[in-house]
Amino acid sequence: MRTLMDQLQSNFLMKPSLRITIRCRLFFDADKTLAADDTGARFWERIKETKGKDDPLSTLFGGPLKYSYTAFRQAMLLYEESTNDDEFDAICEEVATYTHLYPQICSLLRQEGRYHHV
């Protein structure tokens, strides 16, 4: 199985000739949609190891905001405040190396990769 980073690098990031204007972006709620792994949980495990901070997302999404737009915006702020930019990037890259995409998602990304405006 290919990891998330492998898939992105081989299909998208490593094509310097693709200097185009993107008119449409695909957006996924990644956990359990792109892969079986809960990447959010993996991220917060690493934060707990390095900073001692617990995963606040269960409390957030289990609270009165549920899975609302406001809750997702709050979650984004929690990620941003969890650590500095360099460590955030490093943790995300590490989590991505352990994340295996579902074959159907790989196929979808390959198909969409043919369209240079997406």
Give the residue among 53, 61, 55 at the shortest CA–CA distance from 41: 55
Residue 30: both structure tokens together = 């990644």
The Cα–Cα gap between 83 and 35 comes to 25
In a domain, 19, yes or no: no
Asked if pLDDT for residue 58 goes beyond 60, the answer is yes
In a domain, 61, yes or no: yes
Give the residue among 86, 77, 91 at the shortest CA–CA distance from 44: 91
Using CA atoms, how far residue 95 sits from 41, 70, 113, in Å, is 10, 25, 23
Report the percent of the chain where pLDDT is more than 70.
74
In a domain, 18, yes or no: no
pLDDT in tens, 12-41: 555 555 556 667 777 666 677 888 988 899
In a domain, 20, yes or no: no
In a domain, 81, yes or no: yes
The whole-model pTM stands at 0.67
Number of domains in the chain: 1
Q: In which domain, by residue range, is 43 found?
A: 26-113
In a domain, 89, yes or no: yes
In a domain, 67, yes or no: yes
In a domain, 39, yes or no: yes
